[in-house]
Amino acid sequence: MVFDNMSTVTTGRNEDGKPIWKPKCRQFASEIGFHPEVCALYSPNQKGTVENGVAFVKGNFLAGRTFFDDEDLSRQLNNWLTERNSQKCPAHGQIPNELLAEERKAFEPLSETSDSYGLLHLRNVSPEAVIRFETNCYSVPEQLIGQVVAVRAAAKELRIYYDNQLVAQHQRSFGKKECPDSRAPVKRELRDLSHYEKTLELKPRAKVMAYREKLLGLSSEAAAYVAEICRRDRNSMNQQILTLYTLWEENGTEKFLEAVGFCHKEQVYGAAYVELVLRIPPNEAERVQLLLSGQPIQSDIDRDLAIYDTYTHH
């Protein structure tokens, strides 16, 4: 692989004139399995194949072309590529699509792709059992507090290793949340509650609050449903939250949210109702009347407040 911009991959040259590779570039080349080389400064003739390809696209696709937006440009580019790759190439007299089909037979599978490969970073684990990466914090098992872990930052996820063992995996976040008071951006904290099992078992209230926060973050409908449960019966709120969290873990996000949505629509609130819906076959859910044994129906509970006026005004 040839690099034409030395400053991005090297820190200069040594006494023998050889490039001094930046650690990240050297590591990347070693793991992917290619030999990097650099061109001399201001010597485009050393990479003529690349420069000719750029000039061809500029002169044959971009020149004189108009487009409305990125989507329109991408559509035109795909049409142009299909057309060009179906014609004979003047350089070798063959059709690129047909030539590629033959060349594929000699290809070897890539060891990594742009989605799966993660650049290596080292991070210290904070007393809160999180590592800081770019704009956000990511949790690791609490027994690793104070240790140094290896972070592999891929395009869409972060993989965290300790002693060559995968200890945490998170969806990568590129944004920051907004602080409601000052509207200033603050770091997001992406936590896996399984990393705090020991601490949460010792602090039951903290466990309930952590589980509640997770449930509220699943969707706006789930947040409204959980909030209504907490409002209606604070005495049983803790157990309700624990049961809902267990149902989510056992059934998965999609099924759990479907059950919560159904209960919310029917205006029946409680973990027992969600559990009941989860046991019902999907094609029968709409026909089932959600009644729990020993419990009054909702219409008996919800009364018009005007009824009480006849008692309070005497």
Q: What is the pLDDT of residues 165-183, one digit of tens each?
A: 999 999 988 876 544 444 5
Query: In terms of domains, do 155 and 182 share one?
Result: yes
pLDDT at 193 over 80: yes
- Assess if residue 69 is contained within a domain: yes
For residue 218, give every residue at least 6 positions away whose Cβ sits within 8 Å of its Cβ, in sequence order, or none: 248, 253, 256, 257
Instruction: Look at residue 130 and tell me if it is in a domain.
Output: yes
Task: Please report the pLDDT score of residue 73 as a whole number.
Answer: 92
Q: Does residue 244 sit in the same domain as residue 272?
A: yes
Average of pLDDT values for 129-154? 93
160/295: higher pLDDT:
160
pLDDT score at 152:
93
Residue of higher predicted confidence among 282 and 30: 30
**Hey, what amino acid is at 150?**
A
Residue 307: predicted pLDDT: 62
Higher pLDDT, 287 or 130: 130
Q: Evaluate if pTM is beyond 0.85.
A: no
Are residues 101 and 132 located together in one domain of the fold? no
3 pLDDT higher than 60: no
221 with 289, same domain: the answer is yes
Q: Is residue 111 part of a domain?
A: no
pLDDT of residue 179: 45
| 60 falls within a domain | yes
126/97 same-domain check = no
Asked whether residue 95 falls in the same domain as residue 22, the answer is yes
Residue 283 has pLDDT above 80, yes or no: no
Conformation bin of residue 183: beta by default, left when phi > 0, alpha when psi is -120 to 50: left
pLDDT tier at 74 (50, 70, 90 boundaries)?
very high
Considering the domain architecture, whether residues 41 and 71 belong to the same structural domain is answered as yes
Does residue 85 carry a pLDDT above 70? yes
- The percent of residues above 90 in pLDDT, for the chain, comes to 36
In a domain, 277, yes or no: yes
Residue 76 pLDDT class (50, 70, 90 cuts)? very high
Nearest to 239 by CA among 270, 214, 279: 270
Domain boundary among 62, 80, 106: 106
Report pLDDT for 153.
92
Instruction: Work out the average pLDDT over 91-119.
Output: 87
Radius of gyration of the chain (CA): 30
How does the average pLDDT of the chain come out, rounded?
82
Binned at pLDDT 50, 70 and 90, residue 139 comes out as very high
Select from 195, 228, 259 the last residue of a domain. 195
pLDDT at position 81 is: 93
The helix (run of H) or strand (run of E) holding residue 299 is: helix 298-301
> Is residue 306 included in any domain, yes or no?
no
Q: Which of 195, 226, 256 is the last residue of a domain?
A: 195
Q: What is the pLDDT of residues 223-282, one digit of tens each?
A: 999 999 988 888 888 999 999 999 999 999 999 999 999 999 888 899 999 998 898 876
Same domain (yes/no): 236, 286: yes
Residue 311 lies in a domain: no
In percent, the amount of the chain with pLDDT more than 70 equals 82
pLDDT at 90 over 60: yes
For 267, phi then psi, to 5°, come to 60, 45
CA nearest 292: which of 313, 266, 310? Answer: 266
6 with 100, same domain: the answer is: yes
pLDDT higher than threshold 60 for residue 55: yes
Same domain, 56 and 40: yes
Please measure the distance between the N-terminal and C-terminal CA atoms of the chain and give it in whole angstroms.
91
Query: Can you give the residue range of the structural domain that contains 135?
Result: 119-195
Report the pLDDT value the prediction gives residue 183, as an integer from 0 to 100. 52
Residues 102 and 58 in one domain: yes
309 inside domain: no
* Best mean pLDDT range from 47-61, 86-100, 105-119: 86-100
d(CA 97, CA 92): 13
State the total domains in the chain: 3
Is the same domain home to 90 and 45? Answer: yes
